[in-house]
Structure 1
């Protein structure tokens, strides 16, 4: 890190692994490489661990003795340099510490803010899940493309964008809805969702007889996936201080693919299907 923000020391460790001449060359090379940003005096050599040295001694009677000598770690040069370093850089070290604290507080604030936004966003998604499911259950449609379109409510996009300070207009929301609809069809998410939900409902013959219920749950599930993906997408945009009125197709495709995979877990899917089926039955 640049010294302007973080005063730095470099410790060249494991000296025992190099020949004496090689050590000199390496340490000098390091000093030259970092010279533009780090004082060469702040580059030092150490051995942070103890070294085992094998010794062999021949005696006058022709016998020999072998033993291992253990040398303690050698960090004297580093400790000495640290003392000088601390004295010379008190102000910079204080600024660096305060800067790190500020970054940490900012991150904590962002985390809390994201939780608050998420808690605001989820009821909105749930509302549009039920709206889409109820409409499709009453008026079933056969086309996967139309079902995908029904799952993406322009107003939901606008509402979620407002929570994350992206502020989509109705026109922008409509364009985004069309783009997202194409994404979930092209990725096969719409068709896979319908197939998965249908198979789950087959386990209950009473509900399966109601074919429209299968479509209703499927469209609610698609709305759920799109909503969660929008939360993550808008959150990333907000965290990066990006304010764009257009959906980045590549980025959103990656996010929705990830969200879809997560929500395919059997337990989560079963719970969603049961809860949504009950809600649809209660409103139709």
Structure 2
């Protein structure tokens, strides 16, 4: 459980992981001061699709390095460039700082010579999925460029879940109700939730196609399915993958289990249809 007392311990573990940089990962510091870990596909074409990946951690912990393996898999299996962003964390850096960091990284990725700016997806897991959803809304509203797709892996979308009294912590693993309260309060700070929280946005129209995956024993199950329904109602194509019996972050705990492999395979298939095959159709 993440609490104010345990937060420093998690942060130390994250810093240890940051020191490990595989030889095929480029660590860059952007002009905005944000770090990005770049994963290039083998035998890449001159220009091609890309994915901006946003790590999870309840807005409180984690780093881009923790997802080196999954980013490498996306790059290898899809043949796309993957950039993982090290956004600043709450509570020291509340909304909108983490979101603006992600926007700065996306803006940089749009201008990368090896990337087709019309074929960029954004994605993330847990809080990273929540930031990806918020980023899709921000991109739509600012209108400076477009995003082709949004991959939301058990995303943390709605702060109102933290006030529900009908949720049983005993059924939830890795991310509990108490951690959720702490995460949202730290991220929001003094911000207006109606502005900062994706699920509170009254207008979901005009967003890129979405994929949402979540387990039935995940604290975010209800809010994720509700968001998917609202996307569909707003005319946004949305595919949903519900994994029966799965808890939050199950695929990271048992990545080699058949259910975890199948969960990742559906993400790859969806990205292939919305990025790689779209590139071929437009060529």
TM range (shorter): under 0.3
- Normalising by the residue count of structure 1, what TM-score does the alignment of the two structures yield? 0.24
* Structure with the bigger percentage of strand: 2
- Normalising by the residue count of structure 2, what TM-score does the alignment of the two structures yield? 0.24
